[in-house]
Amino acid sequence: MNIIIVGCGKVGQKIAEKLSQENEHNITVVDSRRFKVENIINEYDVMGVVGSCADIDILKEAGVENADILIAVTGSDELNLLTCLMAKKAGECQTIARVRNPEYRKTLPLFKEDLGLAMIINPEQTAAMEMARVLRFPSAIQIDTFAKGRVEILKFKIQDGSPLDSISIMEMSQKIDPNILICGVLRGEDAIIPGGDFVLNVGDIISIVAPSKSAGAFFRKIGVKTNRVKDTIIVGGGETGYYLANILLRSGIKVKIIEKDQKRGEELAEMLPKATIINADGTENRVLLEEGIEFAESFVALTNIDEENILLSLFAKSKMNGKLVTKINRIAYDEVISNLDLDTTIYPKNITAEYIVKFVRAKNNSIGSNIETMHSILDGKAEALEFIIRENSPVAGIPLEKLSLKENILIACIIRGTDVIVPRGRDTITAGDHVIVVTKNSGFTDITDILK
């Protein structure tokens, strides 16, 4: 596919990185900042054009007339929308715009078709949705959904005293729950797709595949809390804080927001009448203690400074036993941050890039099957892909144990109608199935990519 990425910030760079790994696309990046363009073309297999995306000649130089998809992720909502409109007029490509202003969110659906937008993504709202999901299931570090919510991949850490300590994957299936499949393990910096004889240890961070209705029962069997949190303290009342509070309040969760800026606090009080808004500096330990952090069931650090968020979460961890969620903007230090044991960390830029790449892959259909859903798991070291199986697919009708699979591949789940199947060696895949595959390889677009 011919793809143009407008905007070479962190999100644009992440999209270019992920799409260039697939070796299937002709990618051109556009930015008015020469050094940004040069950094990306030196790092990845992409072409670059330096200039303003508001200039139709620059877009034509980037190949807009023959492009399949244009992705506008500059720092300006208005510029993103203008670029998409120009792309629609200049060619027949589909367009994706990053739009962050909540005011636009209400009106954009009315003009989506007129502007030629195939997708609108709001990083703050998307991040808030991810945060709300883990607050509803606090034992999990991360939750990803497949098959329209019927199947979930949940990531959590094995704690001291867990019945999962020192047993093999096969034993877990036999003794604890045969409807749960462990599809990935993070042990230190190693990402592992385990076989049946792999032995779990305390400290392992594991990802399980489970039917949505079965996950709670599994966690209860291993003595892990499954009830959603009853209340939360949010430090930082920016757009992400607003979106998150709105979602949680609708779910019946009590919300307290600590916001330093008085004017913003007044705006939040008006927009969120059911929330408690505290006008104070949430980075001060005294304020957090006065507002009852020791008794809160969850804490979310959403300031605009990563270092503040990290220190806030570490302080909260020392004072409470509840769920912690930390927003991190800079992607470069994710490996260092993962070693701090901050519970759930949310990277809005990563999430935005992942959603966009997911859309691009879904459009890159092939005859045998196509990707319906994609999530990065194991701290980005593996992917979980949902394929829809078409007629005459090479993998259909053959027992799984007889398929010649590449290394680091696991067929994690088969969804057939209303049935969710944890696959065994004698199971087969049939046309119409949704199949979830976990792999450490990248760039898969078709189910046949799993075969040697």
Burial state string for 106-136 with b = 16 or more CB within 10 A and e = fewer than 16: eebeeeeeebbbbbbbbbbbbbbebbbbbbb
Domains of the chain: 2-121 (3.40.50.720), 129-221 (3.30.70.1450), 231-321 (3.40.50.720), 367-450 (3.30.70.1450)
Euclidean distance between CA atoms 343 and 366, whole angstroms: 39
Looking at residue 193, its amino acid is I
Residue 20 and residue 45 in contact, taking contact as beta carbons nearer than 8 Å: yes
Q: Are strands 298-301 and 323-327 parallel, antiparallel or unpaired?
A: parallel
Q: Residue 392 has what pLDDT? A: 85
Euclidean distance between CA atoms 3 and 14, whole angstroms: 14
Q: What is the pLDDT along the chain (452 residues), one digit of tens a residue?
A: 899 999 999 899 989 998 888 777 899 999 999 999 999 999 999 999 999 999 999 999 999 999 999 999 999 999 999 999 999 888 888 899 999 887 777 777 777 777 778 888 988 999 999 999 899 888 888 888 888 788 989 999 998 889 999 999 999 988 888 888 999 999 988 899 998 899 999 999 999 998 888 888 888 888 887 778 999 999 999 999 999 999 999 999 999 999 999 999 999 999 999 999 999 999 999 999 999 999 999 999 999 999 999 999 999 999 999 999 999 987 666 667 777 878 899 988 888 888 888 788 767 654 344 677 888 888 888 889 898 898 888 999 999 999 999 998 999 999 998 889 989 889 999 999 999 999 998 778 788 889 98
Q: Residue 369 has what pLDDT? A: 44
Q: Residue 166 has what pLDDT? A: 94
Q: Residue 373 has what pLDDT? A: 80
Euclidean distance between CA atoms 6 and 30, whole angstroms: 5
Q: Residue 368 has what pLDDT? A: 41
* DSSP-assigned letter for residue 435: E
Q: Residue 298 has what pLDDT? A: 96
H or E, element range at 248: helix 239-250
Helix axes 102-111, 239-250, angle to 10 degrees: 80
Q: Residue 418 has what pLDDT? A: 86
> 103 — phi, psi (to 5°)?
-65, -35
pTM (2 d.p.)? 0.80
DSSP 3-state of 189: coil
Q: Residue 366 has what pLDDT? A: 42
